[in-house]
């Protein structure tokens, strides 16, 4: 997924200078006044608690099949019913959510790190190195991520670690463009040029000015990247790349429930579907809030 929701137009906030360390308190205050972003943050915390603490309050057996308990509707014993092999769906939502969240967050961060390195080198070095590096990015963007993932699914079945690497590998392109653009504007700022003119090294220019001033852009990019990665994790099971049984994730639950949903067992697909939508919305809302709070352009 390389599309993003577009930014707010720069309002009065664009008069504020790029955020240095003193701007952080201002950014926190702006973020707290963004209702949607605060709700998003609360939703993320609640879902993380649900997945990681929930199993202690609502213990279920997610490793053994219990065919005598299969295909039950929602009720007192199983709040969200059971699936085709007798797993409690509410418990499975927590069990699969752990994988979805961990893989999504790790892949999103990996993509941001790779994109930051690639984009900052391309932008700072410039010239033909920049031209070649950015054509590679163009080529990567031209190949739809879902097509690449389906080709990979025809070749191999990765574990959780492999999945994170694969998802990071198909999603670092957009952040690399954002960071490159950021580097291009920053490297010609007066304070960077001054530092270079009085004999400061490239390393010092990057360490003292470029990276600290890019932190807000990187944090915002990472937030959107995690949202996209969690969405992509939901797709991979559908494409045949998902984690292997007995492990599962929300996408795996959706794929497994597809046929059952046609025969009326809605509780197999509605909970994981809503969980994906809710958590992706929440990360996007937080990303929007952070972007406006830091006054970052792009996305």
Q: Verify binding: residue 226, another protein, rule CB under 8 A.
A: no
Q: Which of 44, 51, 145, 293 binds another protein (CB under 8 A)?
A: 145
Measured from the CB of residue 135, what is the shortest distance to another protein in angstroms? 5
CA–CA gap between residue 190 and residue 180 (Å, rounded): 18
Q: Which of 43, 146, 195, 247 binds another protein (CB under 8 A)?
A: 146
Q: Which residues have C-beta within 8 Å of that of residue 41, sequence separation ≥ 6?
A: 282, 286, 289
Q: Which of 116, 216, 225, 284 binds another protein (CB under 8 A)?
A: 284
Measured from the CB of residue 151, what is the shortest distance to another protein in angstroms? 5
The nearer residue to another protein, 19 or 285, going by C-beta atoms, is 285
Q: Verify binding: residue 46, another protein, rule CB under 8 A.
A: no
Q: Which of 118, 124, 172, 235 binds another protein (CB under 8 A)?
A: 235
Q: Verify binding: residue 91, another protein, rule CB under 8 A.
A: no
Q: Verify binding: residue 103, another protein, rule CB under 8 A.
A: no
Q: Verify binding: residue 155, another protein, rule CB under 8 A.
A: yes
CA–CA gap between residue 125 and residue 201 (Å, rounded): 14
CA–CA gap between residue 52 and residue 181 (Å, rounded): 38
Q: Verify binding: residue 277, another protein, rule CB under 8 A.
A: yes
Q: Verify binding: residue 104, another protein, rule CB under 8 A.
A: no
The nearer residue to another protein, 116 or 237, going by C-beta atoms, is 237
Q: Which of 85, 109, 181, 261 binds another protein (CB under 8 A)?
A: 261
Q: Verify binding: residue 154, another protein, rule CB under 8 A.
A: yes
Three-state helix/strand/coil letters over the chain: CCCCCCCCCCCHHHHCCCCCCCHHHHHHHHHHCCHHHHHHHHHHHHHHHHHHCHHHHCCCCCCCCCHHHCCCCCCCCCCCCECCCCCEHHHHHHHHHHHHHHHHHHHHHHHHHHHHHHHHHHHHHCHHHHHHHHHHHHHHHHCCHHHHHHHHHHHCCCCHHHHHHHHHHHHCHHHHHHHHHHHHHHHCCHHHHHHHHCCCCHHHHHHHHHHHHHHHHHHHHHHHHHHHHHHHHHHHHHCCCCCCCCCCCHHHHHHHHHHHHHCCCHHHCHHHHHHHHHHHHHHHHHHHHHHHHHCCCCC
Q: Verify binding: residue 200, another protein, rule CB under 8 A.
A: no
Q: Which of 227, 256, 268, 290 binds another protein (CB under 8 A)?
A: 227
Q: Which of 13, 42, 46, 143 binds another protein (CB under 8 A)?
A: 143
Q: Verify binding: residue 273, another protein, rule CB under 8 A.
A: yes
# binding residues, another protein (CB under 8 A): 52
Whether omega for the bond prior to residue 246 falls within 30 degrees of 0, making it cis, is yes
Q: Verify binding: residue 142, another protein, rule CB under 8 A.
A: yes
Q: Verify binding: residue 240, another protein, rule CB under 8 A.
A: yes
The nearer residue to another protein, 206 or 242, going by C-beta atoms, is 242
Q: Which of 285, 286, 290, 296 binds another protein (CB under 8 A)?
A: 285
């Amino acid at each position: 997924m390389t599309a993003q929701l577009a930014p707010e137009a720069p309002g009065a906030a664009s008069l504020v200078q790029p955020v240095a360390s003193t701007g952080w308190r201002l950014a926190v205050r702006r973020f707290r006044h963004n209702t949607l972003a605060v709700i998003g943050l609360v939703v993320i915390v609640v879902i993380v608690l649900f997945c990681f603490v929930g199993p202690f309050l609502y213990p279920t057996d997610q490793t053994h099949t219990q065919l005598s308990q299969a295909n039950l509707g929602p009720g007192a014993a199983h709040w969200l019913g059971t699936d085709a092999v007798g797993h409690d769906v509410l418990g499975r939502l927590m069990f699969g959510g752990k994988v979805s969240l961990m893989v999504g967050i790790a892949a999103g961060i990996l993509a941001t790190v790779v994109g930051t390195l690639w984009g900052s080198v391309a932008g700072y070095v410039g010239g033909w190195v920049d031209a070649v590096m950015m054509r590679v990015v163009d080529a990567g963007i031209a190949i739809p991520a879902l097509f690449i993932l389906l080709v990979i699914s025809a070749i191999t079945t990765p574990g959780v670690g492999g999945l994170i690497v694969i998802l990071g590998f198909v999603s670092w392109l957009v952040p690399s463009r954002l960071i490159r653009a950021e580097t291009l504007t920053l490297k010609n700022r007066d304070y960077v040029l001054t530092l270079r003119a009085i004999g400061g090294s490239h390393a010092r220019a990057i360490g003292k000015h470029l990276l600290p001033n890019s932190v807000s852009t990187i944090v915002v990019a990472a937030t959107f990247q995690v949202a996209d990665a969690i969405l992509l994790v939901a797709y991979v099971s559908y494409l045949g790349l998902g984690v292997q049984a007995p492990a599962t994730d929300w996408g795996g639950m959706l794929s497994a429930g597809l046929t059952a949903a046609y025969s009326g067992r809605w509780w197999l697909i509605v909970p994981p579907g809503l969980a994906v939508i809710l958590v992706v919305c929440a990360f996007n809302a937080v990303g929007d809030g952070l972007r406006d709070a830091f006054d970052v352009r792009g996305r």
